[in-house]
Amino acid sequence: MSIQQPCNRWQHLLAARHPDDLTATERAALAQHLATCTACTVTRADYDMLTQRIRTLPAPSAQPLPQFAMPQQEAKAISEHPELDLLPLPERLSSPPRRSRFARTTNVLAAALLLVVLIGSSLLLFSHRPQATTGGPTVEPVHLVPQPLKSCLSDPGLDKICTEGYYKLVHITQKFNGPQNFTLTINRLYADSNRIVVGYTLLDSHGHVPDVLPHGLQSEQYDVTLSIQTLNGHTRPVWVLQSSGFYGMEGSENEIRNADIKNFTGMMFATFEEPQYIPYATQQIPTGTQELSLRLQAALSMNSSTDTQPSQGVTTTQPVDLGRAYFDVTMPFHQGNVLHPHATPTGQGVSDLSIDYIVVSLSETYVQLKGRQTMTVMEDQSNKVSTVLNINGTKSYTGLDSWLDANKYYESLFQQPLYNEHGTWKLQITVHDPSGKVIKSAMFTFTYQ
């Protein structure tokens, strides 16, 4: 799942799955909007991927009903012995004899003792993690927590980081310098060659998750924007990255998608996921580096939307600035593997297409492609581009694709944890025209060791 929030106006259109859910006018308007909005394009790809996964689920099989032998035996007995009459039940059955107070007390104590044993056994069982058995080097978590966080929705890479404890636990609290006395507490930190993850909670002056501004305006969304000011003491434009979204560890998916902070009780995660910058940045970090030192700026605002043209569904967002806070943090760094496969593509009309580089980290895999002639066809908005990664002929993953640097490069993100998936990798890029016909097809085959 993407960590970018789609535009509020287009959320219900993006979620439409049936062809009859949208009118022709709505479909045309949505297509025009997707041509200019990256966040909504990625969200639409998430919905398509989810729909595809649902359709591939096996159909449920109904189990046969059990045979009730007792009525059949009773009917057979009556037919064989008609002279026998069934005795009627008394109108009121006698109550079973009451057990003594001592017997009840003994049973309660036994049940309590059994419960304690079960809880202790469960804690012992779940505190022991099996060791990985895949070939090649493995990555061990820097810090394991006794109670792993809940699943991070449909992002398997971030899910692995959260549920298995590949992060550093901290407790750093700062107040925003605005008039409302909001505080931000950073509690989890993680970094690898593809993304930097910061877990935090936002509280008001009463220690509660804020839902209403003091002057009485109902909030639609409190927005915490984190930016990296310095990385390992260096200040460059490439280090200043905006957080691209939120992740909720608790609460329903609807609450997380709509950033409904009023009903949100869990922690938020900001993910710095700008692969066109991060891989270049992390490649400059010396091999063997185990920690990164960052200075973070947190900017708090409240987005209040008003209907300027209700008949056309046009809304205007007015952000209210609520102050800034600064954090100096140190987090574990998991160095990824940077690949430069010199693989020649096989396929239809893609001789100029090549892989610029691949960055494989614990949280995701990033692929950057280049090729001017092929890109001209791929960037046509009427065509559909798909990338599929097959590993060892047994596992296939679909990438999330987008353009970079004025359409000179094409990137694909695979959010699965593939760091330890060594072997033969096959990357398939396919371009379909509006009718579904394949007009470009490329297959790259290389070895990940």
What amino acid is encoded at 221 in this protein?
Q
Averaged pLDDT for residues 102-129: 49
For residues 212, 215, 220, 224, the Cα torsion angle rounded to the nearest 10 degrees is -80
Name 445's bridge partners: 426
Most confident of 25-34, 69-78, 144-153, 434-443: 434-443
Looking at domain 336-449, does it have CATH number 2.60.40.10?
Answer: yes
3-state secondary structure of 381: coil
**What is the residue extent of each domain of the chain?**
1-49, 156-334, 336-449
- The model's pLDDT over 296-354, given as tens digits with 9 standing for 90+, comes to 888 887 766 555 555 665 556 677 788 888 999 998 888 888 888 888 888 887 777 88
Tell me what percent of the chain is helix, strand and coil, each rounded to the nearest 5.
Answer: 25, 35, 40
- The model's pLDDT over 367-415, given as tens digits with 9 standing for 90+, comes to 888 877 766 667 677 788 889 999 999 999 998 877 665 557 788 889 8
Residue 310 phi, psi dihedral angles, 5° rounding: -55, -35
Averaged pLDDT for residues 426-433: 90
What per-residue confidence (pLDDT) applies to 6?
75
Name 431's bridge partners: 385, 440
Q: Pick the residue with more confidence: 393 or 214?
A: 393
CA within 13 Å, CB half, 387:
21
What per-residue confidence (pLDDT) applies to 301?
79
Reference 249, options 200, 297, 208, 202; nearest CA is: 200
197 pLDDT exceeds 90? Answer: no
Averaged pLDDT for residues 258-269: 39
Q: Pick the residue with more confidence: 300 or 66?
A: 300
Q: What is the mean pLDDT of the chain?
A: 67
Alpha helices in 130-194 (DSSP H): 156-164
Averaged pLDDT for residues 130-142: 37
Written as six digits, the tokens of 180 are 């409302």
**What fold does the segment set 156-334 form as a domain?**
Immunoglobulin-like (2.60.40)
Averaged pLDDT for residues 122-138: 40
User: Got the DSSP string for 177-245?
Assistant: SSTT--EEEEEEEEEESS-EEEEEEEE-TTSS---B-TTSPBPSEEEEEEEEEEETTB--GGG--B---
CB-CB contact of 267 with 276 (8 Å): no
What is the pTM (predicted TM-score) of this model?
0.57
Query: How far separated are the first and last CA of the chain, in Å rounded?
Result: 28
What per-residue confidence (pLDDT) applies to 322?
82
What per-residue confidence (pLDDT) applies to 89?
41
Name 430's bridge partners: 386, 441
What per-residue confidence (pLDDT) applies to 425?
96
What amino acid is encoded at 31 in this protein?
A
Q: Evaluate the CA torsion angle 33, 35, 40, 46 in order and state its sign.
A: positive
82 pLDDT exceeds 80? Answer: no
Q: Evaluate the CA torsion angle 344, 347, 352, 356 in order and state its sign.
A: negative
Tell me if 156-334 shares its fold with 336-449.
Answer: yes
Written as six digits, the tokens of 29 are 């308007």
H/E element, 34: helix 24-34
Lowest-pLDDT range, 15-19, 60-64, 295-299?
60-64
Residue 308 phi, psi dihedral angles, 5° rounding: -85, -30
Lowest-pLDDT range, 278-282, 297-301, 429-433?
278-282
What per-residue confidence (pLDDT) applies to 389?
95
CB-CB contact of 355 with 427 (8 Å): yes
Distance of CA 96 to the CA centre of its chain: 56
Q: Pick the residue with more confidence: 269 or 11?
A: 11
CB-CB contact of 246 with 261 (8 Å): no
What per-residue confidence (pLDDT) applies to 135?
36
280 pLDDT exceeds 80? Answer: no
Averaged pLDDT for residues 405-427: 84
What per-residue confidence (pLDDT) applies to 426?
95
Could you give the CA distance from residue 86 to residue 108 in angstroms, rounded to a whole number? 41
Q: Pick the residue with more confidence: 42 or 306?
A: 42
Averaged pLDDT for residues 51-78: 58
Residues contacting 162, CB < 8 A, separation 6+: 148, 149, 150, 151, 152, 249, 269
Q: How many CB atoms lie within 10 A of CB 121?
A: 10
Give residue for tokens 């092929």: 374
Averaged pLDDT for residues 229-252: 46
